[in-house]
Amino acid sequence: KVFHAAGISWTLSSKASEAGNFGMFIGNYDQLRKIAMRVREAALELVVKRIVVGECGHAWRVAYAFWNTLTGIGAGANDPFAVELQKQLDPNYKQPSHICEVTWDLIQQGRLKFDKSANDSRIITFHDSCNVARASRMGDYPGGQFDIPRNIIKAVANNYFEMAPDTTREKTFCCGGGGGLLTDELIDIRVKGALPRMEALKNVVDEHGVNFMATICAICKAQFTKVLPYYGFNMRLVGGVHQLVSTAIQLGNEQ
């Protein structure tokens, strides 16, 4: 919806439609590069000008920290392997870009219109995902990875409350499902690992009536969907930042 509303020409590759990198997930760097190379090959085949990564913590950490050396995606490299792709990508754009960076830039440019009241049934908080919060950045200044998702939420919704400051931003808690733990056989460990975040969430639920915890990591979403009921919460309490964007954005005749 963001791309449509902004009039951006875009596509998805059938060969590299998933940026999530389970080589990073399990610490296998050979597999990490193999998966990352699919994105490079798809970018060359489709002759794209910009590569945008969606709401996935491991995907963004790999894109931010490893794509430059592993796949030649990113500024600065001058070897033939990197130059082949760099001469195709548009230098006016950050390569790669996180979808939150794209959306926030478009909001600042006034290219997206929202009806914030469409999200009024939601009382929102935000969970900082580990791989975004502590292993990567967004934007052009330190801490952008914390501010940009929150700025987007506040641009598309009226009801937002932070969890305790010692549980957010660079001090965030792990969801309990990262690092290869996201399997049903380890559900007992996952439930215990989620306890600190569940306690912080309960505080804002009790104080402010929070009923939606936004996050920008697919692993966090999958983990919380499974463990929230163990703590007495509805599994639908967790969702993505762009789920909120999708609800509020105005397309075509809606503008």
**Over 70: is that where the pLDDT of 234 sits?**
yes
Distant-in-sequence, close-in-space partners of 167: CB < 8 Å, separation ≥ 6: 173, 196, 197, 200
The per-residue pLDDT for 118 is 98
How confident is the model over 225-241, as a mean pLDDT?
A: 97
Query: What pLDDT does residue 74 have?
Result: 67
For residue 135, the SS3 value is coil
Q: What is the band of 17 on the pLDDT scale with cuts at 50, 70, 90?
A: confident
pLDDT tens profile 112-144: 999 999 999 999 999 999 999 999 999 999 999
Q: State the pLDDT at residue 15.
A: 87
Q: Which regions of 167-253 does DSSP assign to beta strands (E)?
A: 212-215, 238-240
Share of the chain above pLDDT 70, in %: 96
Cα(68)–Cα(70) distance, integer angstroms: 6
CA-nearest of 6, 243, 239 to 113 is 6
The C-alpha atoms of residue 171 and residue 252 are separated, in whole angstroms, by 41
- 253 pLDDT tier (thresholds 50, 70, 90): low
* pLDDT over 70 at 90, yes or no: yes
Residue 76 banded pLDDT, cuts 50, 70, 90: low
Residue 254, pLDDT score: 53
Higher pLDDT, 208 or 86: 208
pLDDT of residue 26: 79
